[in-house]
Amino acid sequence: MVGEQVDRRLAAILAADVAGYSRLMGADETGTFGALKAHRSHAIDPAIASHEGRIVKTTGDGILVEFSSAIHAIACAIDIQKAMTERNRDVPANRRIDFRIGINIGDVIIDSDDVFGDGVNIAVRLEGLAEPGGIYLSRAVHEQVAAKVAATFTEVGVRNLKNIDIPVQVFRVSAHSEGPQGLALPPLIGHR
Amino acid sequence: MVGEQVDRRLAAILAADVAGYSRLMGADETGTFGALKAHRSHAIDPAIASHEGRIVKTTGDGILVEFSSAIHAIACAIDIQKAMTERNRDVPANRRIDFRIGINIGDVIIDSDDVFGDGVNIAVRLEGLAEPGGIYLSRAVHEQVAAKVAATFTEVGVRNLKNIDIPVQVFRVSAHSEGPQGLALPPLIGHR
């Protein structure tokens, strides 16, 4: 039998975590925890839901999300970063929670609702490379979305990622700068 | 709103058709039709089912199949070509039905169970490039499957495909030559 017995499917994997989470927690544990929780429930989770993502798991500051479409994954990431820009507008720089996001496409292994494989690992490594507030993609994602999403893609370069055999061509995406769109800002952070 | 309103999903698209179908039909319409029907029901359709493919549409000699995994799509294509080699073993060369197969990964548009977009068109163009009995893949597929499928991948080169803006790097896949595996040969073609 060519192939494998495991359950696989093509998915866009989005990995996000908070830049400088340990420092933020060290400076103000309760405040950081509360702010992160509010960001999750008012910005992150609604963006994921509206783009039909499935939250695979969360860690203290991180989240792993599966999408059936790479275009939905990118749109979700852009909505999250736009919302966070708004939410951080009046927050002092040293207390700001900024997410780094990495997105990859993979023919991932599915087991008991968890996802495994290089496709997942590459997304996590891309997230680790991204600057705070940034969104990094592999070439596989770029190829699927570049002509179909209204955003700016910039090549970062070819990178060797830890524990990944083949170098990955990395791209950065930034939303067009017309201001927040698509994600209704929650009442929590007020009106403009 | 970044992104689009249409329903999209990542899919591996397999396009197959019969090489020289018009010539075969011209030479023996009834015989070709009957042979093709037998190949479908005893080799092609079971291979698609066993690899969890979804037949999107069929034409006289063609078939378009959606898989949720690229690895499943490759395994299906290899099983089909191995089965056809067996089924053609005692058929005179001028009456042989050989399939060409193209496979691509795309973030395709889904509408009423039909699939649309570049992702589909590229699969069809790859099929048109393939030699009779051959399986051609885009780089996007190769990247997902090369390390995970027991088969030989050979780069064909970069090709400009009709009505596709960006040149596509094309690969050929051939099964390892241990003989047919994985697809139980139907009683129709007897025992060896």
Which positions in chain A touch B150 (Cβ < 8 Å)? 2
Site from B107, B135, B142, B144 to mutate, A interface, most A CB atoms within 10 angstroms = B107
Averaged pLDDT score across all residues of chain A: 88
Dig out the tokens for A183 from the structure. Answer: 């994600």
Distance from CA of A8 to the nearest CA of B (A): 6
The answer to whether B103 touches B73, Cβ cutoff 8 Å, is: yes
d(CA A171, CA A159): 10
**pTM given for the model:** 0.80
A30 Cα to chain B: minimum distance (Å): 34
A113: left (phi over 0), alpha (psi -120 to 50) or beta: left
pLDDT at A163 over 90: no
Helices and strands (DSSP H and E) totals, chain B: 6, 8
* C-alpha torsion B44→B49→B51→B52, nearest 10: 140
Closest chain B C-alpha to A73 CA, distance in angstroms: 9
- CA A174 from centroid of its chain's CA atoms: 13
Read off the pLDDT band of A165 (50, 70, 90).
confident
More confident residue, A110 or B175: A110
For residue A158, the chain B residues in CB contact (below 8 A) are: none
Size of interface A-B (CB pairs under 8 A): 99
B165 or B173: which leads in pLDDT: B173
- What does the pLDDT average to over B49-65? 94
Least confident of A45-59, A177-191, B42-56, B63-77: A177-191
Q: Please state, in angstroms and rounded to a whole number, the distance separating the CA atoms of residues A32 and A30.
A: 6
Shortest CB distance from A2 goes to which of B68, B70, B75?
B75
pLDDT band at A162 (very low <50, low <70, confident <90, very high): confident
The mean pLDDT of chain B is: 88
Chain A neighbors of B51, CB-CB under 8 A: 3
**Mean pLDDT to the nearest integer, B128-138:** 97
pLDDT band at B113 (very low <50, low <70, confident <90, very high): confident
Q: Given an 8 Å threshold on Cβ–Cβ distance, is A10 in contact with B12?
A: yes
pLDDT tier for residue B81 given thresholds of 50, 70 and 90: very high
Which is it for strands B99-111 and B135-138: parallel, antiparallel or unpaired? parallel
Q: Which residues pair with B111 in a beta bridge?
A: B114
pLDDT of residue B178: 45
**Look-up of token digits 């992702």:** B119
pLDDT bin (cut points 50, 70, 90) of residue A1 is very low
Buried b (16+ CB within 10 A) or exposed e, A125-152: bbbebbeebbbbbbbbbbbbbbebbebe
Among B51, B54, B69, the strongest candidate for a mutation testing the A interface, having the largest count of A CBs within 10 A, is B69
Using an 8 Å CB-CB cutoff, list chain B residues near A2.
74-75, 78-79, 149-151, 175, 181-182
Select the residue from B8, B10, B48 to test the A interface by mutation, using most A Cβ atoms within 10 A: B10
Please list every residue in chain B whose beta carbon sits closer than 8 Å to the beta carbon of residue A72.
3, 8
Predicted confidence (pLDDT) at residue B33 exceeds the cutoff of 80? yes
- Tens of pLDDT, residue by residue over A11-27, are 999 999 999 998 898 89
**Which residues in chain A have Cβ-Cβ distances shorter than 8 Å to B106?**
144
Query: Which of B8, B70, B175 is facing A107, going by the closest CB pair?
Result: B70
Q: Beta-carbon neighbour count of residue B89 at 10 Å?
A: 11
Alpha-carbon gap, residue A173 to A179, rounded angstroms:
15
User: Is residue B188 helix, strand or coil?
Assistant: helix
Cβ separation B182–A2 shorter than 8 A: yes
The complex's ipTM works out to 0.72
